DNA sequence: CAGAATCCATAAAGATACTG
DNA sequence: CAGTATCTTTATGGATTCTG
C-alpha cells in the first residue's frame, strides 16, 4: 500500500464529500436538532435520544472541528455551554431536511421492514419446525 | 433492562427513521448511483469507489429487504444481475439529492477540514516540542 | 452541569481466497 | 460475472467512575 500521498481526499461526488462530514449514527441527528434550536449540552443530550455523553461530546467536537457547530462556553459555575450551528452547519441542516420529510412520509413502511429485520434476528436461526 | 417489548421501533423523528434505512458508509452512495442509472453488479462496484464485494453485497441485500432496491437475475451464463431502485428507493434518492448538492457546493471547505483531520491523526500525538 | 477517562462488548468494515 | 466464506482489524457504542 506504500503511503497514500494524495493530500486531498478527492471525492468521487458531492454526496461522498457530505458523508465524510455527517456519516455516523448521531451526527445527522445532532445537526438536525441544533437546527431547530440552539441547545445547551444537557438539552441536546435529552433531544438526541439514547446518546451517551461520550458519543455526544465526541461527535460535537468533530462537528466543531469541521466548522459545522460552534461551542460557546459561558464560563459560569455551574457550567453552561451551548451549541449552535455555524452558517455552514445551517446550510447542511437545510440539505438534511428532505431526509426528515422522507422518514416522516414513509415511517409506517420503514417501521414494518425494521420489525421484520428484528424478527429474524431474534429467531434462533434453526427454528425447529414443529413436527410437520 | 428486562426485555424490550416495544415491537415498533418508535422513531424520535423522521430523520431517525430515515437513518435506520440508509445509515452506514455505503448505502447512501449505492442509492445515489442507482438513481443515476440502473446498474449491473460489476458496474455498481466500480461506481462506488473503494467498496469490497462483501460490503456491496451485504448492503444491497439489506436495501433489497428494506424495499429500496430490486434485484433482477437474468439467470444467464456468464451471470448477469442488475439492480434498480424501487419507487420507494427513488423517492429516497430524491431526498438524498440536496446532500449531493451540498457536498458539491462545499467541496473545497470539506476538503480543507478533512485534510486537517488527517494531519493530527498522522502526528505521533506526543510531538516532542523542539526544546522551547 | 458539562464534561473526561477508562474499560469492554459488539458491529462494521477490510483482506484474502475460493466458487458456480 | 457475481457472488461466498472466513478471518482479522478497526470503529462504534455503552457502562461506569471521576472532576471542576
Which residues does B17 contact at the CB level (< 8 Å), separation at least 6?
A: A103, A104, A106, A107, A110, A111, B9, B11
Helix (H, G, I), strand (E, B) or coil at A40: strand
Range with the largest mean pLDDT of A10-14, A22-26, B54-58: B54-58
Interface of B with A in 22-41 (CB under 8 A): 23-25, 28-29, 32
Query: Shortest Cα distance from A76 to chain B (angstroms)?
Result: 31
> CA–C1' span, B52 to C13, in Å?
9
Q: Which of A72, A101, A100 is nearest to A86 (CA)?
A: A72
List pLDDT tens digits, range B69-126: 999 999 999 999 999 999 999 999 999 999 999 999 999 999 998 888 766 655 544 4
Q: Which of A104, A50, A88 is nearest to B110 (CA)?
A: A88
Say if B5 is an interface residue toward chain A (CB within 8 Å). Answer: no
* pLDDT of A119 above 70: no
What is d(CA B42, CA A57) in angstroms, rounded to the nearest whole number? 40
User: For the domain bounded by A8-105, which CATH number is listed?
Assistant: 1.10.10.10
More confident residue, B116 or A35: A35
* pLDDT of A6 above 50: no
Say if A13 is an interface residue toward chain B (CB within 8 Å). Answer: yes
- Residue pair B127/B120 in contact (Cβ under 8 Å)? The answer is no
Give contacts of B20 with chain A, Cβ < 8 Å.
110, 114
B110, B111, B122: which to substitute to probe chain A, counting the most A Cβ within 10 Å? B110
pLDDT at B115: 85
Q: Which nucleotides of C are covered by protein (CB under 7 A)?
A: 1-6, 12-17, 20
* pLDDT of B1 above 70: no
Q: How confident is the model at residue A5 (pLDDT cuts 50, 70, 90)?
A: very low
Locate the domains of chain A by residue range. 8-105
Q: How confident is the model at residue A24 (pLDDT cuts 50, 70, 90)?
A: confident
Q: How confident is the model at residue B11 (pLDDT cuts 50, 70, 90)?
A: confident
Amino acid at each position: 500500500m506504500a503511503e497514500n500521498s494524495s493530500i486531498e481526499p478527492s471525492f468521487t461526488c458531492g454526496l461522498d464529500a457530505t458523508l465524510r462530514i455527517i456519516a455516523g449514527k448521531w451526527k445527522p441527528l445532532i445537526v438536525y436538532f441544533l437546527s431547530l434550536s440552539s441547545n445547551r449540552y444537557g438539552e441536546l443530550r435529552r433531544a438526541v435520544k439514547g446518546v451517551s455523553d461520550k458519543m455526544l461530546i465526541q461527535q460535537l467536537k468533530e462537528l466543531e472541528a469541521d466548522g459545522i457547530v460552534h461551542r460557546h462556553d459561558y464560563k459560569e459555575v455551574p457550567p453552561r455551554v451551548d451549541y449552535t450551528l455555524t452558517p455552514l452547519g445551517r446550510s447542511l441542516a437545510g440539505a438534511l431536511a428532505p431526509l426528515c420529510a422522507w422518514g416522516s412520509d414513509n415511517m409506517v413502511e420503514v417501521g414494518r421492514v425494521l420489525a421484520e429485520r428484528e424478527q429474524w434476528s431474534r429467531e434462533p436461526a434453526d427454528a425447529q419446525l414443529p413436527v410437520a
